Structure 1
Amino acid sequence: MTDRPIRLFGDPILRSKSDPVKLDDPGLEGLVQDLLDTVSQPGRAGVAACQIGVGLRAFSYNVDGDIGYVLNPEIVGLGGEPELVDEGCLSVPGFYFPRRRYPFARVVGVDLNGDRVELEGDGLMAQALQHETDHLDGTLYVMGLDPEIKRDAMRQIRESTWF
């Protein structure tokens, strides 16, 4: 089992848009296994490839005992009115801030065989789908905080022991 170390806020890979996955990449199966192993640790709802240092469009999820992955994911549907939800991130350890998220999300991508994968859900699954897809677009959740909250969040992050 390979539980890969998580890259932290400030690492340039977290602010870079991830490249599409090529299904013939010989290392792809290993990446997927590492993503699954890493997200399987307690308290983890999702891990994007960039969080383990790989700039490819892939993420794993672990929501309510449902563990899986998706390659080349794209959000194809959001529903409901955005609402404030407490959100944290493995790349910003120890912090949770209120962030606006849609209560429903649908993502489409593929698996290792190139077969279509469609994930959808509400609540934590919707939040995880939006959060992990944002990672692949080079956006950390703190960037989408309301301005007053973001100012305070950035101050707290800068003062943290790991920053």
Structure 2
Amino acid sequence: MAILKIARMGHPVLLGRAQEVADPTSEEMRRLVDDMAETLVDAGGIGLAAPQVYQPLRLFLWRDGNELRVLFNPEIEPLGTETDAAWEGCLSIPGLRGRVERPSRVAWRGLDEEGREVSGEASGIAARVLQHENDHLDGIFYLMRMQDLSMLGFNEELARLAAAPQS
């Protein structure tokens, strides 16, 4: 396994629609998933999309509790009209966080690393991560989803503000 370099915002591989994966069970895909898993752990992230490691493929990994999940050719659909706003960061935009509103619950489906159809529903942080990573497959950054850019800040400044005594 190898730790992969993470693409930064502005790189062309992050700006377009990623391609469907024809065979999730191929040796090439197994190696990519293993390398992405090691990269995700090394970076301390909770999700990683293939375009973030210079692979324009419809694939992402995410932490689902203690389990690392893999989803090829995902489809994500909102369930209901309820939304939540929360702070998001991105390995491709280091050092920043922004407050993003997203659907509270989603249904998801795709293929796992064995090529089997998988599906489920998610809420809370899991729903947010699924939507964030799926956005990467369509060339969308969380910044593009922000409605109020005054809610964007550097991690250090946001931590300082959060730690300041409230008056």
Structural RMSD (CA): 2.1
Cα offset, 1:26, TM superposition: 4.3
Runs of 5+ in structure 1 lacking a partner?
Answer: 157-163
- Equivalent residue number for residue 84 of structure 2: 83
For the structure 1 residues 77 and 116, does the alpha-carbon distance in structure 2 shift closer, same or farther, using more than 3 Å as the test? farther
For the residues of structure 2 that align with 1:137 and 1:78, how far apart are their CA atoms? 20
Count of residue pairs brought into register by the alignment: 153
- Structure 2 segments unaligned to the other structure (5+ residues): 155-167
* CA positional deviation for 1:43: 3.1
How far residue 153 of structure 1 moved from its aligned partner, in angstroms, is 4.6
- State the distance in 2 between where 1:112 and 1:97 align: 32
Runs of 4+ in 1 over 6 A off after TM superposition: none
TM-score, scaled relative to structure 2: 0.82
Structure with the greater alpha carbon radius of gyration: 2
Seen in structure 2, the aligned counterparts of structure 1 residues 85 and 153 have a Cα distance that, compared at 3 Å, is closer
Distance in 2 (alpha carbons) for counterparts of 1:78 and 1:37: 32
Give the corresponding residue for 2:161: none
- What TM-score does the superposition give when structure 1 sets the normalisation length? 0.84
**Contact 1:51-1:91 within 8 A present in 2 as well:** yes
1:41 aligned partner: 42
Q: Is the Cα–Cα contact under 8 Å of residues 76 and 108 in structure 1 kept in the other structure?
A: no
Partner of 2:14: 14
Indicate if the aligned counterparts of 2:46 and 2:129 stay in contact, CA closer than 8 A: yes
**Cα distance in structure 2, aligned partners of 1:61 and 1:119:** 14
